[in-house]
Amino acid sequence: MIEENYRKVEAKVKEAAIRAGRNPEEVTLIAVSKTKPLSDIEALMKIGVEEFGENKPQELRDKYENVSRPVHFHQIGHLQTNKVKYIIDKAVLIHSVDTMHLAEQIQKEAEKRDMVAKVLIEVNAGEEDTKFGVTVEETEDLVRQISVLPNVKICGLMTIAPFVDDPEENRPIFRQMHQLLLDIKSQKIDNVDMNVLSMGMTNDYEVAIEEGATMVRVGTAIFGARDYSI
């Protein structure tokens, strides 16, 4: 079931890329396994899936330590500074950096382990009060500040678009994010890459891909609805 769901989403990812005249290989599908048991992750690993997304640092750590072979876990949810230590050497990419304070903590923990942590800057492109992330206007400044940290490598941008009935409503946001990525990329800031654009979830990943997403984070369409009561 989960395997079939994954295959369906994977096919739609490919079709959306082709529709947009893009190479489907530019788009990475991240299976968002938050709240789901390890057995669901293992089922997908059997068909070759390597990229998983988790929201909570402790959950990422526990799953990382218990999977039967190494796979990639992405820290996609909000990260508190006191929890950086749980995932610093386990997350392949931290998608949710939105303050200098958090970046400095990542720097500290990465330096301790003599590693470079890869991060994305989270942008609140929809400007919703309930969301984390910097505004579009603040993004370049934050990128410049973080770029001086030697053990933190900015790889691109991430956004969580508003929940909408019609994914077309989010198209302008995705387009704006892509433009922002290109604008910052053109600045050629030292120690900054702008190659990753993480955007699009179950409801809107196809539109996000049409507008330039290189990573989509899909949970519900693969694993089914989440139960937060357990």
* Residues of the shown chain interacting with ligand PLP in the complex, contacts defined by CB under 6 A: 32, 34, 55, 76-77, 160, 201-203, 217-220
74 vs 178 by CB, closer to ligand PLP: 74
Nearest distance, CB of residue 146 and ligand PLP, angstroms: 20
Q: Please check whether residue 86 is in contact with residue 54, taking contact to mean a CB–CB distance below 8 angstroms.
A: no
- Residue found under tokens 């500074």: 81
Nearest distance, CB of residue 198 and ligand PLP, angstroms: 8
33 vs 139 by CB, closer to ligand PLP: 33
167 vs 212 by CB, closer to ligand PLP: 167
Nearest distance, CB of residue 225 and ligand PLP, angstroms: 8
Dihedral (Cα; 216, 220, 224, 225), 10-degree rounding: 160
Q: Please check whether residue 123 is in contact with residue 100, taking contact to mean a CB–CB distance below 8 angstroms.
A: no
71 vs 76 by CB, closer to ligand PLP: 76
CA-CA distance, 64 to 22, in Å (whole number)? 32
CA-CA distance, 161 to 157, in Å (whole number)? 13
Nearest distance, CB of residue 150 and ligand PLP, angstroms: 27
CA-CA distance, 173 to 220, in Å (whole number)? 22
